Structure formats: structure tokens, C-alpha cells
Structure 1
């Protein structure tokens, strides 16, 4: 059995590997070759922490595993990331544990790669302006992956606390792309693609903000009650997700579904677009990728780390 720590993950898994792994696992999920098993997620009654397990099996890559971890909101007092996770990989023929893989870097890489895959598949033709909402730890991964994916000519940024986007400006400048911190009205009207990566429990991006053909990768909502987009914006978008049922329960689509403005059957699998089964974008509409995250993504990238 092998142990792969965070430093080793950073050395042997890059953004391209993450992109390729997400594309493959989304296609396997759409073809019913990969299955997510029931998720356990509970408050442990100590340190205000949430802890859970996300198991799954991908028959295409013969990858069996489980992501274990959760959220410790007071970890910043210990100079630790609030999100902590570890991935266990098992031999699908014998059940033996093959590897224990540190999961924090993998979580960040796979979340950004999932958004990048959606941009690759659903962005309006000749997209030039990228909007990013949020300036937390995950935002840097999101921006790097998006700028790898399309030749954006400008990045527009917004955060609920202004002046905290200097690290994003530095990343954009490294890619020779101008960065402008702006308001949501300007960002929504001018952006061809928008990434939302916040921990908000109330709408940040409103229906009235988004004008013209736009792709939105909503990556922050992964829990019942969270919300980044106004429900009416979600309702008018063509919605895609890793797992539509999960999206309707705890992803960005949950609010439009609960209000009766969107049906679970209206949410389509992103893997269907990647495989060519679904057409994806039709023209000038708003498309939405609801990236609530599944354990199969972490397991797929952990397998890539083990192979590397």
C-alpha cells in the first residue's frame, strides 16, 4: 500500500491531468459505467465540524475508492485549511487498499478542472471575457484552469470584500491577460463565461446581471441552503451537472427546483455533451454547469496521482 502526501500530489498531478481525468469520469458517469454510492455527511458534535464519506466505482478505469473528510470551520486558527480530506483507493478485484492519497490539493484541482471542462464544452463561440466571483483559496485554481482552457482577453473580478483579488490579478498578468475588479452589473453584462466560487447562502449573481449568451460555472454550492445564483437565473438557463439528482438536492439548482421553476429532468449530464450524446449550447442562451462535486472526481484524480 502506498501513501501519497500533498507535496507528492502537487509534484505529479498538473492541471492537464486534472482536466483529462474530469472529462473521462464525466463521460463514464453519463454512460452508466461509473457509479457514485450513497454519501454520508454528518455533524460530529465537536469543533463545529462536518465529516463524511463519498464512495464510488468507475468501471472504465477500474477505479474503486472513497473520499473521507469534511469541514472544520475553526482550522484557520491553527493555520490549516478548513476543508480536510483523504482518499482511499482499493483494488476492485480483491478489495485490498492500494493507496492512501492526501485529498486537499486534489479537491482544489478537480473542482477547477470540472469548471474548465464545462467552459470547454459550453462556452459561447469566440468567448473573450471571463468573469470570476469570489476570491478565496479555490479562486486561484479556478482562474488558472479557465485561462488554460480558452484564450480569454480580459478577466473581470468581483468579491464581497473589495481589494482582495490581488492574487487573481497576478495570475491573469502571468497569462498576459488584463484583470479588472468591477461591480456585478458590469461583470454580468460583459462576461462571456462566469465562474462563481463563494460560500454564499444568498444569491450573489442576479438574473438581471446576466445579459446575452453566457456560460456560468457555479462551483460554490454543495450543501443544502447554499446559493450563489438567483433562482430565476437558474430557471432560464440550460442546466448541466455531474449528477442531476444531486444538483437538485444540494447544488445550485436546488432552489429553482424547490420553487417549482425547474424539474430534475431539466438538468442534463455534462458527460452527455462531452460524449456527443447531447448538443450542449444551441446559440444565444445562458448555460449553467452546477458543479456540486462527486467523490468519483476525487477518486479519478487520486488514481492519476498513483499512476504518476
Structure 2
């Protein structure tokens, strides 16, 4: 069924502009986790279309644009996002910015334009929650965070809604960031403390969110029952895990093509340490139960971010904004 059913509906509603502050008011992490899990099920069942992520490289500006379109479960949209590492120093702008256009599949009417940067924060945190729901030890009670930035907080928010956390250990090169996270997120667990990478590795569940190109977590630090959400690697050459971890673990990916080129496993693949047949499953297969989740041993979820996640989150935000009367409506296409 189309979200918009008549031309009159289109004219009356217009296109909603949803900024980052209003987006916060329209999102709860629990809802995003469920929406993304449903999107993986739809993708596995064939009720989704997701072309490969397209890159526009701009070496002259040391940056790139990425276009991520998708259709999933009667919702459609595209995220236009950049990565410009020099922005903070040269232009006082964020490294990453994004815009999402959310459209009605039947009419193609643009239902909403919304902040894609904050949306990405939620959906990336939420997919760590989905992976932890299916791959983390059933008796997990501790979370390690490698990195103390905004995405580490999103990982903590999502995983705390899945796992009853007794203790969270955070490490980062920026000691002040660790202190701030521990103080501001203290209610997420009985204890939220700073520590070393080795202490982080001692936790039941670990989420890594750094831009490192050198392995930080070492294999000998990890128990065999540990689950790792490898979220930080997003470009060729990046890696946060000792290659022996990837070799020993049951690896689950969000998308083989993306992960093999820019995810945590990209270095292992390039070096011939890991091939497609060595990957245990795609997360969509595990969520849909077309492939069993690993029952014991070390597990790694390699996340590069999928357009179906963006569209599922955009749909949730749009529908909530409609219910709450949030956003600014305007006539974008002149109906």
C-alpha cells in the first residue's frame, strides 16, 4: 500500500523538512533497532532493492561524496553523504554531513528531506544493537568501547537496550572524551569507567568506533566467547582488530562487497587471509534465521552501513513526525 493514496493527500501534506533537533524528538533507539531488524528480514526475503553504494572521489579536496539509494518494505529514499577530513580545520565544518530524501514509492513524491548526519548516528548505533541481539553471549553483562566519540555513545545507547549491563569500559586516545562519556552516560550501566584497550578486550561485548589503520585489539586479550561489533573501518586500509581475530572468529558481515573493500575485513581480504567462503553469514541471514547464528566461540560483526538501514530509519522518523506534527512542510515540487 502506498504511503500517499491520492493527489489531494500529496498537496495537503507537502514535503516535510526535518532538522537535527526535530529528528531527535522523533527517534527512540529501541524503535530504530526494531525497524532495522525488519529491514534485514525484508532484504533477505527479496522485498528490497539496494544498488551498490556510489562514490564520487574528490582528491583535489581530500574528500568524497557517497550516494546510497534503497527501496525496502514499501519505503524508498536516498542518502547523500560526504567524508571531508579537512573540514574541521579548514572550514569549521564537520567531517561527515548527510541529507536524506525520503519518497513515496508509488507516486515518487518527496515526502521528507531530513538531516542525514544524526540519522546515521542512530542507524549505525542501532545495527550494533541488532548484531548484539543475535550474536552476543546470552549471559553478557559487560561492554567495552574502543573509542569515546559520538558513535561510541550511540553504540552504548543501543546495546544497553539489548543487554542488561553491569559494567562498561571505555578507552580512547582523548582522555577528556573518556571522562566526558563516563560522566554523561553513567546511567547506562551500574558502572561506566575508563580503561586500557586490554581492559576493553576483557568485556563480553565490544564495539570499536575508531578511524585506526593499525590494529588496536589483540587476539591474546580476548576470550573465545566475546562478540565484537567492528564499526570503525569505513575505507580501504582501515582496521582496528588484530588480523588473527578475524581469522579465528565467526565473521558476520552487513554486505560482503562493501566489507571486503572498506570494512574491518578489507585488509585481511587484500592480504589473502580471508575469502568469501570464510565468512559465516550476512547479518540479514542470521536475523531471518536462514542461517544459524554461531553458538560459541569468538564472533565479529563487520558493519559498513547499508542504505536499507537509512531508509528504514527515515520511514520511522517521517511517520513519527507526521504523528507529532513535527517538521516544516513546504511545496517542493509545485503540486
TM-score normalised by L of structure 1: 0.93
- Is the 2:156–2:188 contact (alpha carbons within 8 Å) kept by the matching residues of 1? no
SS at match of 1:144: helix
Picking from 2, 5, 15, the partner of 2:29 is 15
Equivalences for 1:1-308 in 2 at 5 Å?
1-45=15-59, 47-58=61-72, 61-77=73-89, 79-188=92-201, 190-267=202-279, 268-283=281-296, 285-308=297-320
**Aligned counterparts of 2:272 and 2:58: Cα–Cα separation in 1:** 33
Task: Measure how far apart 1:171 and its partner are.
Answer: 4.2
- Is the 2:165–2:188 contact (alpha carbons within 8 Å) kept by the matching residues of 1? no
- Is the 1:245–1:264 contact (alpha carbons within 8 Å) kept by the matching residues of 2? no
Structure 2 unaligned blocks of 5 or more? 1-14, 321-335
- Is the 1:232–1:256 contact (alpha carbons within 8 Å) kept by the matching residues of 2? no
After superposition, give the CA deviation of every residue in 1:109-163 in whole Å (9 maximum; x if it has no partner). Answer: 0000000111111111211211110012221111111112110111111112334
Task: Measure how far apart 1:46 and its partner are.
Answer: 5.2
Change (3 A) 1:45 1:252: closer
**Aligned counterparts of 2:278 and 2:39: Cα–Cα separation in 1:** 22
- Is the 1:131–1:195 contact (alpha carbons within 8 Å) kept by the matching residues of 2? yes
- Is the 1:215–1:288 contact (alpha carbons within 8 Å) kept by the matching residues of 2? yes
**Aligned counterparts of 2:47 and 2:178: Cα–Cα separation in 1:** 40
- Is the 2:236–2:267 contact (alpha carbons within 8 Å) kept by the matching residues of 1? no
After superposition, give the CA deviation of every residue in 1:2-45 in whole Å (9 maximum; x if it has no partner). Answer: 22111111111111121111111122222232232122212335
For these two proteins, the number of residue pairs brought into alignment is 304
SS at match of 1:157: strand
- Is the 2:167–2:189 contact (alpha carbons within 8 Å) kept by the matching residues of 1? no
**Aligned counterparts of 2:80 and 2:87: Cα–Cα separation in 1:** 17
- Is the 2:104–2:110 contact (alpha carbons within 8 Å) kept by the matching residues of 1? yes
SS at match of 1:227: coil
Alignment root-mean-square deviation, CA: 1.7
**Aligned counterparts of 1:171 and 1:19: Cα–Cα separation in 2:** 22
**Aligned counterparts of 1:271 and 1:306: Cα–Cα separation in 2:** 24
Q: Larger Cα Rg: Structure 1 or Structure 2?
A: 2
Structure 1 unaligned blocks of 5 or more? none
Change (3 A) 1:172 1:69: closer
After superposition, give the CA deviation of every residue in 1:246-281 in whole Å (9 maximum; x if it has no partner). Answer: 212211111222222221133211122222222213
**Aligned counterparts of 2:299 and 2:144: Cα–Cα separation in 1:** 14
**Aligned counterparts of 1:97 and 1:18: Cα–Cα separation in 2:** 22
More strand by share: 1
**Aligned counterparts of 2:54 and 2:190: Cα–Cα separation in 1:** 42
SS at match of 2:177: coil
